[in-house]
Chain A
């Protein structure tokens, strides 16, 4: 596999949200607006790249039986770093993402890439994989967030498109997340079939 397809697979062919259906908890939880989805996606990307990098470096030193706990410690460390940095420099975004930042630790996408890719591949490939998968995840969250924000509250990235009163409130709430995600996945599957 060349590096480009290694990078680009995260966007479409193996997109975490639309194809692998990984990381559903933050996907459904934080995408009530486009900006929240983007922020969450970028935070996850950072954790993914850094944990893939570290795991790729230390994989040979780690005995097989304690491999998962070691990966979790690495991931949790980077998540906490992200949490503290966001709290310090982008407090508004931190407030709206709230609990979901610490929950990146249990995002199966992050552990999944560490276990399935970084622990078997070289440093460079692992970093590219993390970047591709992370940005693909961020893209999916932003799309879902945009759809929900537009239909639910008539805004896109906070800009008013039409008056909020005409919005379908359900799209801002949890059921709307499932509905929007379902239609997006159906759409992607259709496109894939034709391609």
Chain B
């Protein structure tokens, strides 16, 4: 078969047909994978909540509300309840002070603000250094462990900054950033505790009764 000639009409027509077919098949694939992608994301979120606030029996995703931190980050708060009792909240917190940009973590707090557990959701820290934060602050070694501590009574900053937490070896900036994300979660949550009904309260409450 002879090759199609490179006339303007032929070229326009060819590109039109090719992009048309490509667009249609992509739209079709999008419809096909939309459900599974959403399900995978929801499952990941649910797993993270379970990890940081164990023992709830409601669906925290349904009762999620948003709070705005002092820095202007929109934090998602997932109340974890057993029956009617509030077991704790899982807060999707973040910071922009990471070594490689934003760090997103899920922090579990008891209703009084004590840290239950955390999980790192998203980060771009250096592999082998900053990435150790996944479990560094959970390990019972030296002063690494921050679980069970209370951000108000414990000074949760690294020892270099006068705090009481050992920073990750060779990753001071990542450690600072991680603890900053924890602080953002706690401060935002505790500030909004005092307001009568925190549900869907997205207004910035500067300097609440803290």
Interface set of A (CB-CB < 8 Å, partner B) = 32, 58, 60-66, 69-70, 73-74, 76-77, 80-81, 84-85, 87-89, 91, 152-153, 167, 169, 172-173
- Identify 6 residue pairs between A and B in the complex whose beta-carbon atoms are under 8 Å apart, listed by A's number: A60-B2, A61-B4, A74-B22, A81-B29, A91-B40, A173-B126
Q: Which of B44, B126, B128, B129 counts the most chain A CB atoms within 10 A?
A: B128
On chain B, the residues within 8 Å of A58 by CB distance are: 18
On chain A, the residues within 8 Å of B71 by CB distance are: none
Given contacts A60-B3, A64-B3, A80-B26, contact A169 B33 (CB under 8 A): no
Bound form: Cα–Cα A66–B13 in Å: 11
> Is there an interface contact between A69 and B40, defined as CB atoms closer than 8 Å?
no
Q: Which of chain A's residues has its CB closest to B127's CB?
A: A172
Size category, B interface: 20 to 34
On chain B, the residues within 8 Å of A74 by CB distance are: 18, 22
Q: Which of chain A's residues has its CB closest to B4's CB?
A: A63
Given contacts A76-B22, A152-B128, A173-B128, contact A65 B11 (CB under 8 A): yes
Bound form: Cα–Cα A180–B26 in Å: 38
Q: Which of chain A's residues has its CB closest to B122's CB?
A: A95
Given contacts A77-B26, A173-B128, contact A85 B33 (CB under 8 A): yes
> Is there an interface contact between A88 and B126, defined as CB atoms closer than 8 Å?
no
On chain A, the residues within 8 Å of B128 by CB distance are: 152-153, 167, 169, 172-173
> Is there an interface contact between B33 and A88, defined as CB atoms closer than 8 Å?
yes
> Is there an interface contact between A84 and B15, defined as CB atoms closer than 8 Å?
no
Chain B 5-26 interface 0/1 with A at a Cβ cutoff of 8 Å (1 = within): 1110011001100110010011
**Is B37 located at the chain interface by the 8 A CB criterion?**
yes
> Is there an interface contact between B26 and A63, defined as CB atoms closer than 8 Å?
no
> Is there an interface contact between A70 and B36, defined as CB atoms closer than 8 Å?
no
On chain B, the residues within 8 Å of A152 by CB distance are: 128
Interface set of B (CB-CB < 8 Å, partner A) = 1-7, 10-11, 14-15, 18-19, 22, 25-26, 29-30, 33, 36-37, 40-41, 44, 126-129
> Is there an interface contact between A70 and B14, defined as CB atoms closer than 8 Å?
yes
On chain B, the residues within 8 Å of A84 by CB distance are: 29-30, 33, 37
> Is there an interface contact between B37 and A73, defined as CB atoms closer than 8 Å?
no
> Is there an interface contact between B25 and A77, defined as CB atoms closer than 8 Å?
yes
> Is there an interface contact between A63 and B36, defined as CB atoms closer than 8 Å?
no
> Is there an interface contact between B4 and A77, defined as CB atoms closer than 8 Å?
no
> Is there an interface contact between A66 and B15, defined as CB atoms closer than 8 Å?
yes
Given contacts A61-B14, A66-B15, contact A88 B6 (CB under 8 A): no
> Is there an interface contact between A32 and B127, defined as CB atoms closer than 8 Å?
yes
Q: Which of chain A's residues has its CB closest to B5's CB?
A: A63
Q: Which of chain A's residues has its CB closest to B15's CB?
A: A66
Given contacts A84-B33, A89-B36, contact A63 B44 (CB under 8 A): no
On chain A, the residues within 8 Å of B29 by CB distance are: 80-81, 84-85
Residue of B3, B11, B26, B36 near A88 (CB, 8 A) is B36
> Is there an interface contact between A88 and B15, defined as CB atoms closer than 8 Å?
no
Bound form: Cα–Cα A60–B26 in Å: 24
> Is there an interface contact between B18 and A70, defined as CB atoms closer than 8 Å?
yes
Bound form: Cα–Cα A173–B30 in Å: 35
Q: Which of chain A's residues has its CB closest to B23's CB?
A: A77
Given contacts A32-B127, A64-B6, A73-B22, contact A88 B37 (CB under 8 A): yes
